[in-house]
Structure 1
């Protein structure tokens, strides 16, 4: 391992970057170094822009993948090498501002109703009712369900931040039923090995199958349930500052995009979670 790579790893650890972010930044820098055949600290802005153009036009790489490489190289230049930010003014494709195909409450209900397995039903219901990212969902532990205070504790969410979200009574009842049947000990939603959490990719497949069974052809993966939670809470009248806290957003701009997605946004009272109920007929 080169001293530069070790320095980059050490700095990401000190800054509390998630293992996923560390892996993607290291991969990005390695990719640039392999392309040029030399140390990444010797590559200038002009060369990087030419490389990005090559990736977009000849390699047909998605713009999101190019932005990931940009972020990795920016971290190297600004944080590891401590070069002025003005020295890393590269042109690259910006993120497209598209409105996703939002799920209605009826569609969420249909998806949950077509999840025939109690474990899978509870998994998706928890994702929706607590507005979780899939990485937060799979890392939930049994001890994170605080029934006395009616809260769900999210440990080391995005940005390595802890937070608490509201635990609806209907979800608590569903989780109790799930626990009685599956008896999880540590990981709330475990895979084949009861000691290890379910893989995030498996959650995505469960959602995709349920959505197809429900006859819903809208685009979007399991993260659609988090979008649905946010938009449904706003439609029910939740203030944006409260939604920001529940979603774990550092920047209010991330929360306000949901307002932008809801042109008919207005206060409509409290959102019910009755659609979470598990039916014996589904088993």
Structure 2
């Protein structure tokens, strides 16, 4: 005989945190991450995080570092706790005690235009090819691609409306003519398959009422890269990195790229200058201008 076990009730403090995040239109994934990370701190304390002291916060961060918690994870927890202390329990004094750790960013993996073409050509169906083409052609994050609706495609203004970008921000992304052609082909095919609706998801999942998952899109990219014999370690975000880098190499103003990517800080966009190899090759070294050395005088690099 099955016994019904009711779900554990949500504590008033946790509900308050959820309400604070919902009011600010945080995405579901961000809310889940914040709840998890505040829960980590509560487990460390062994009591309500609302009763924390400055010493508790310090000990928590020291223990995390000694336990070998990855630095990006530590910084993500800091963001969650700062929000909790600032907005949910009105303890900004504790929020100021939290320390974000600086660490060198790894250079992103970027595909060449030829590799992008091979990857897109190696997809197994029109839906997947269209989804990855949006990621590259408009520079969207994987979650943004997954949650696009048919109505977000504005063919008159040649824009893609990204309603819920990172941090709940709204923006317009570019819609290339070739991408629009591909999306129209997918629209026709999707209608014939009975999975596309005027007010529905642009890329439906297993059920038309739900969008494709980010996990599925990741698998699609990995499998396509394997088929295309691309040895680099790639994921959906690789296409966004490639979009930004290729625009930079083509001479597009970095502030324009910042707006297209939806970056809040120019520093995040400027990071792509480190991988824009074509841009480096267009610069003339001051040594070359001296004219001291003649070309083809040896075999180094020949």
Residue 138 of structure 1 aligns with which residue?
146
SS in 2 for 1:265: helix
2: distance between equivalents of 1:155 and 1:97?
Answer: 28
Deviates more, 1:226-235 or 1:115-124: 115-124
CA RMSD of aligned residues (A): 2.2
Structure 1 residue 158 corresponds to structure 2 residue 161: no
SS in 1 for 2:248: helix
Query: How far has the Cα of 1:264 moved from its partner?
Result: 4.9
Query: How far has the Cα of 1:87 moved from its partner?
Result: 6.0
Structure 1 residue 190 corresponds to structure 2 residue 204: yes
Structure 1 residue 98 corresponds to structure 2 residue 106: yes
Structure 1 residue 73 corresponds to structure 2 residue 81: yes
Contact 1:238 / 1:267 at 8 angstroms: preserved in 2?
no
The unaligned stretches of length 5 or more in structure 2 are 1-9, 283-302
Residue 232 of structure 2 aligns with which residue?
218
SS in 2 for 1:165: strand
Q: 1:1-283 residue pairs with structure 2 within 5 A? A: 1-58=10-67, 60-85=68-93, 88-91=96-99, 93-183=101-191, 184-185=196-197, 186-262=200-276, 264-265=278-279
Query: How far has the Cα of 1:78 moved from its partner?
Result: 2.2
Q: TM-score, normalised by structure 1?
A: 0.86
Query: How far has the Cα of 1:260 moved from its partner?
Result: 3.6
Instruction: Give deviations 1:9-66, integer Å, cap 9, x for gaps.
Output: 22222222222212111111112112221111222333333333433444x4322222
SS in 2 for 1:223: helix
Query: How far has the Cα of 1:117 moved from its partner?
Result: 1.7
Q: TM-score, normalised by structure 2?
A: 0.81
1: distance between equivalents of 2:112 and 2:233?
Answer: 13
Q: 1:260 to 1:217 in 2, by over 3 A?
A: same
Contact 2:221 / 2:235 at 8 angstroms: preserved in 1?
yes
Q: 1:87 to 1:192 in 2, by over 3 A?
A: closer
Higher-Rg member (1/2): 2
Contact 2:221 / 2:234 at 8 angstroms: preserved in 1?
no
Instruction: Give deviations 1:112-160, integer Å, cap 9, x for gaps.
Output: 1211322211111111101101111011111111222221111121122
Query: How far has the Cα of 1:240 moved from its partner?
Result: 1.4
Contact 1:234 / 1:266 at 8 angstroms: preserved in 2?
no
